[in-house]
Chains A and B, each alone.
Chain A
Amino acid sequence: MRQTFDEMSSSDGTVRPAYETLSQWLSNVPQDVLAHRRKEAEFIFRRIGITFAVYGEQNAQERLIPFDIVPRILTKEEWVQLSKGLEQRVKALNHYIHDVYSKREILKAGKIPEELVYKNPAFRPEMNGQRVPHDLYVHIAGIDIVRTDPSTFYVLEDNARTPSGVSYMLENREIMLRLFPELFSMYKVAPVENYADDLLATLRSLSPHSGHEPNVVILTPGIYNSAYYEHSFLADKLGVDLVEGRDLFVKDAVVYMRTTEGPKRVDVIYRRLDDDFLDPLAFRRDSVLGVPGLMSAYQAGNVTLTNAVGTGVADDKAVYSYMPEIIKFYLGEEPILPNVPTWRCREPDHLKYVLEHLPELVVKEVHGSGGYGMLVGPTADKAQIEAFRAKVSATPDNFIAQPTLALSTCPTLVEQGVAPRHVDLRPFILSGSDKVRIVPGGLTRVAMKEGSLVVNSSQGGGTKDTWVLDV
Chain B
Amino acid sequence: MLSRTADNLYWLTRYVERADCLARILDVSQRLAYTPVTYGGSTNEWGSAVLSAGCADLYTNRYGPLEEATEENVVSFLAFEAENASSIRNCFEVARTNARSVRTALTSEMWDVINSAWIELRNFPNRPLTRDELARFLAFVKETSLRFDGATFRTMLRNDAYWFARSGVQLERADNTARILDVKYHVLLPEKEHVGGPLDYFQWTSILRSVSALTAFHWVYRDSVKPWLVADLLILNRQMPRSLAACYDSLARNLDDIAGAYGRQGPSQRLGRSMLARLTNRSIEDIFQTGLHEFISEFISDNNKLGAEITEQYLT
Mark A residues whose CB is within 8 Å of B. Answer: 46-49, 222-223, 228, 232-233, 235-236, 241-244, 246-247, 257-261
Report chain B residues within 8 Å CB of A236: 103-104
Q: How far is the CB of B311 from chain A (nearest CB, A)?
A: 11
Report chain B residues within 8 Å CB of A244: 4
- Please tell me if the beta carbons of A242 and B104 are within 8 angstroms of each other in the complex: yes
Report chain A residues within 8 Å CB of B258: 260
Which one of B112-120, B196-204, B214-222 is at the interface? B112-120
In this assembly, does B195 line the interface, its C-beta being within 8 Å of a C-beta of chain A? no
Report chain A residues within 8 Å CB of B262: 260-261
Q: How far is the CB of B159 from chain A (nearest CB, A)?
A: 11
When the two chains form the complex, which single residue of A232, A247, A258, A259 contacts B104, counting CB atoms closer than 8 Å?
A: A232
When the two chains form the complex, which single residue of B4, B103, B111 contacts A247, counting CB atoms closer than 8 Å?
A: B4
Given the known inter-chain contacts A258-B4, A260-B3, A260-B315, please indicate yes or no for A223 contacting B100, CB distance below 8 A.
Answer: yes
A418 and B216 alpha carbons, distance in the complex (Å): 60
Given the known inter-chain contacts A235-B104, A236-B104, please indicate yes or no for A260 contacting B1, CB distance below 8 A.
Answer: yes
Given A259-B1, A260-B2, 6 more pairs with CB closer than 8 A? A47-B112, A232-B103, A235-B104, A236-B104, A247-B3, A260-B6
Report chain A residues within 8 Å CB of B112: 47-48
Report chain B residues within 8 Å CB of A232: 100, 103-104
Report chain A residues within 8 Å CB of B164: 260
In this assembly, does B160 line the interface, its C-beta being within 8 Å of a C-beta of chain A? yes
Interface residues of B in 106-144 (CB under 8 A from A): 108, 111-112, 115-116, 119
Identify the closest chain A residue to B314 (Cβ): A260
Q: How far is the CB of A87 from chain B (nearest CB, A)?
A: 31
Identify the closest chain B residue to A244 (Cβ): B4
User: Main SS of the interface on chain B?
Assistant: helix
A242 and B108 alpha carbons, distance in the complex (Å): 16
Given the known inter-chain contacts A46-B119, A260-B262, please indicate yes or no for A223 contacting B1, CB distance below 8 A.
Answer: no
Identify the closest chain B residue to A228 (Cβ): B100
B: contact size bracket: 20 to 34
A235 and B237 alpha carbons, distance in the complex (Å): 43
A77 and B15 alpha carbons, distance in the complex (Å): 55
Per-residue interface assignment for chain B, residues 1 to 43, with 1 indicating a CB less than 8 Å from any chain A CB and 0 otherwise: 1111110000000000000000000000000000000000000
- Please tell me if the beta carbons of B119 and A223 are within 8 angstroms of each other in the complex: no
- Please tell me if the beta carbons of A49 and B115 are within 8 angstroms of each other in the complex: yes
The 9 tightest CB contacts between A and B, nearest first, are A232-B103, A260-B314, A235-B104, A236-B104, A258-B3, A260-B6, A223-B100, A261-B262, A242-B104
A242 and B111 alpha carbons, distance in the complex (Å): 16
Identify the closest chain B residue to A222 (Cβ): B101
A48 and B116 alpha carbons, distance in the complex (Å): 9
- Please tell me if the beta carbons of A223 and B101 are within 8 angstroms of each other in the complex: yes
Report chain B residues within 8 Å CB of A46: 119
Q: How far is the CB of A239 from chain B (nearest CB, A)?
A: 9
Identify the closest chain B residue to A234 (Cβ): B104
Report chain B residues within 8 Å CB of A235: 104
- Enumerate 9 A-B pairs (CB-CB under 8 Å) in ascending A order: A47-B115, A48-B111, A49-B100, A247-B2, A258-B2, A258-B4, A260-B164, A260-B258, A261-B262
In this assembly, does B97 line the interface, its C-beta being within 8 Å of a C-beta of chain A? yes
- Please tell me if the beta carbons of B4 and A246 are within 8 angstroms of each other in the complex: yes
Q: How far is the CB of B279 from chain A (nearest CB, A)?
A: 27
- Please tell me if the beta carbons of B3 and A259 are within 8 angstroms of each other in the complex: yes
